[in-house]
Structure 1
Amino acid sequence: MNKTDRLLAIVLELQRKGVRRAEDLAAKFETSTRTIYRDIQALSEAGVPIIGAPGLGYSLMEGYFLPPVSFTAEEAVALLIGGDFVEQKFDVEYGAKAQSASGKIEAILPESVRRETSRVRSTIRLLATNDMRVGVREKQYIEPLRRAILEERKVRFHYSKNMPEADGNRHSVRDVAPYGLVIVHGSWTLIAQCDLRQDLRQFRLSRMNDLSVLEDRFTYPVDFNLHNHRPAEDRHVLVRIQANPDIADKVKGSSNYYMESFEDHEDGLYVTCRVRQPEELLQWVLGWGADVVVLEPESLRDRVREEAEKMVRRY
């Protein structure tokens, strides 16, 4: 980044974040604090009203606002593709806002940049592949969930799990305090404090039914940060699978939620998966037929053998 770009970026950072220390700016722009001091001096001499508070950092004088900046063709393309992504992955309301924002971006571009943006964008297309496609139910639930998060209201829903809990049940009714929505392996997931389990849990929207927003309020924890949150890892069982070389690429591209690593060998692709229970992979393994072999654990090999025998008897 050259000096001119960095000076503009510093002003935008102060406008966006408020007070920033020289050390913070130096780390963000990968330069020295001495350089930042010189940049602040240059901005001040150019008439930008920057206030320095000893021990706190730098900020812009209240009321100062940088006029809108122009976009390069590449920046415009990035924003417009981002709008396409929002349309595909978010609810109807945000999809409409994305369309509106894209129209505004295109409208303010100079004619030369608009032509170049159109040319570049014509070479890129965002398709909703299987791991990106959002179901109708998920899109319907995103809007009430994000409103419940902002209004700090609890929600209730029926939840279905792939595998039964310790009590043998796969279905339950959950009252939760919703903290945030994240996309995990292409699926929308709610991070919430569960009343039933008295713990912070993840709930996939595709497994929810009969969602309702309750009148009950909750207090958002002051020490919780969604961007820093890392769910506790409860997948402790390793499964090793060997796939025939002919389908190695298909297996890699299947985007299975549980896959952790691949190893290419002459006799095929070795896949390591991490699960809570081996049975979580049973249907996926069976779907590949004889082209896939479970190496371990033995319990999953037995289950695959049992299912194969049932299929033979059925046919």
Structure 2
Amino acid sequence: MNRIDRLTAILIQLQGKKIVKAAEISERFNISLRTVYRDVKALQEAGVPIGAEAGTGYYIVDGYHLPPVMFSKEEAAALLTGEKLMEQFSDHSNRKQFGFAMEKIRSVLRGSEKDYLESLEENIAVIRNGPTVSEDSFPNRFLSDIQQALGHQQIISIEYFSLGEEVNTRREAEPIGIFHDNHNWHLIAWCRLRQGYRDFRVDRIRKLSLSSSYFKKDKHPSLQQYLEQRRSNAPEKTLLVRIEVDKEMMRYMRQQLYYFGLMKEVAKDDKVELTFLMCSFQYFSRWLVMYGNTVKVLEPEPLKTTMRELVTELKDHYL
């Protein structure tokens, strides 16, 4: 990247955040801190009102805006891919807002970039497999409201369907973050009813409203802190498992290996030896059964016993 392009990119980065640390600019463009200081000084000399706070970072004075930015073909294609992902992995509210944003982006594209996007439109697809949820029971349109509550530290009121208890409950909650996992969005919030942090599946929320009451952000951990603490409090995985798999079967198993706690993978001729650490055989053994005689349990003996019992159970069932 030449210096002119880098200066423009730094200016865009500064406009994207309230405060940007010199180290962030250095890391993003793989340049030294001395070069960062020179580049920022060059922008200031060119008339860009950049302020600095000692020990904090740089900021652009309120009221200054860079004129509309032109996108490259590669950037436009990345945005189109993001739109396809949003269609499948977001809810109605976010899809709608992202659609509006894409309309604005398309409006500033040059003609060649617009033609390029149109030619790609039918050649990019994101396929999501999984059960569909009734839109009458679960409207699945609350992500934008949740994001607003997160940004302003607003208390939310929800009607939530508990899958375990199969009942609807009214909750007041203080949201601390959202994350996407295993095809679903999850809201982590302090539940005032249960007096504790709870993990709410967003697609199980029937109703949601924003309260006029607020909470203090610093009374709760950040989302990253909460998730890290949850991982550290998880049950210790003390069961060591070694299995041997036909190499040709690895293509079918690979996506689920880390879910079961894969620790080591060693190729041996036409076999692959896999080592796992886990806390239970319950799901793992049933997963292995589907691969038949292409999988062999090496250790421990209790897992071999569990596998024999499962096979016998299946045999008796079909006889």
Residue 232 of structure 1 aligns to which amino acid in structure 2? R
- The Cα of 1:309 is off from its aligned counterpart by 0.8
- 1:240-262 Cα offsets, whole Å, 9 max, x none, are 33322332211114577325353
- The runs of 5 or more residues in structure 2 that have no matched partner are none
Out of 147, 158, 171, the position equivalent to 2:162 is 158
- 1:151-171 Cα offsets, whole Å, 9 max, x none, are 4236544233xxxxxxxxx98
**1:171 & 1:189 partners in 2: Cα distance?**
18
Aligned match of 1:299:
302
1:131-146, aligned counterparts within 5 Å?
133=130, 135-136=132-133, 140=138, 142-144=140-142
Aligned match of 2:125:
126
- 1:211-240 Cα offsets, whole Å, 9 max, x none, are 565999884652522245423242514443
1:25-174, aligned counterparts within 5 Å?
25-54=25-54, 56-119=56-119, 121=120, 125-130=124-129, 133=130, 135-136=132-133, 140=138, 142-144=140-142, 147=145, 150=149, 151-153=154-156, 155=158, 156-160=160-164
8 A contact 1:263–1:269 mirrored in 2: yes
Identity over aligned residues, as a percent? 30
User: What secondary structure does 1:71 align onto?
Assistant: coil
8 A contact 1:145–1:178 mirrored in 2: no
Residue 292 of structure 1 aligns to which amino acid in structure 2? V
Aligned match of 2:188:
191
User: What secondary structure does 2:124 align onto?
Assistant: coil
**2:140 & 2:275 partners in 1: Cα distance?**
33
8 A contact 2:138–2:206 mirrored in 1: no
**1:250 & 1:55 partners in 2: Cα distance?**
51
- The Cα of 1:29 is off from its aligned counterpart by 3.0
Decide whether aligned partners of structure 1 residues 171 and 186 sit closer, same or farther in structure 2, where only a CA change above 3 A counts. Answer: same
Decide whether aligned partners of structure 1 residues 218 and 313 sit closer, same or farther in structure 2, where only a CA change above 3 A counts. Answer: farther
What TM-score results when the alignment is normalised by the length of structure 2?
0.75
**1:311 & 1:67 partners in 2: Cα distance?**
68
Decide whether aligned partners of structure 1 residues 96 and 204 sit closer, same or farther in structure 2, where only a CA change above 3 A counts. Answer: closer
- Paired residue total: 301
Out of 246, 249, 253, the position equivalent to 2:248 is 246
- 1:248-295 Cα offsets, whole Å, 9 max, x none, are 211114577325353332252333444442202233222223322333
- The Cα of 1:110 is off from its aligned counterpart by 0.9
Residue 94 of structure 2 aligns to which amino acid in structure 1? Y
Aligned match of 1:4:
4
**2:67 & 2:210 partners in 1: Cα distance?**
43
**2:201 & 2:297 partners in 1: Cα distance?**
27
**2:42 & 2:216 partners in 1: Cα distance?**
42
**1:56 & 1:212 partners in 2: Cα distance?**
41
**1:98 & 1:297 partners in 2: Cα distance?**
51
Out of 213, 224, 249, the position equivalent to 2:221 is 224
Aligned match of 1:20:
20
8 A contact 1:239–1:273 mirrored in 2: yes
Q: CA RMSD in A?
A: 3.7
- The Cα of 1:196 is off from its aligned counterpart by 9.1
- The Cα of 1:89 is off from its aligned counterpart by 0.6
- The Cα of 1:40 is off from its aligned counterpart by 2.2
Decide whether aligned partners of structure 1 residues 303 and 27 sit closer, same or farther in structure 2, where only a CA change above 3 A counts. Answer: same
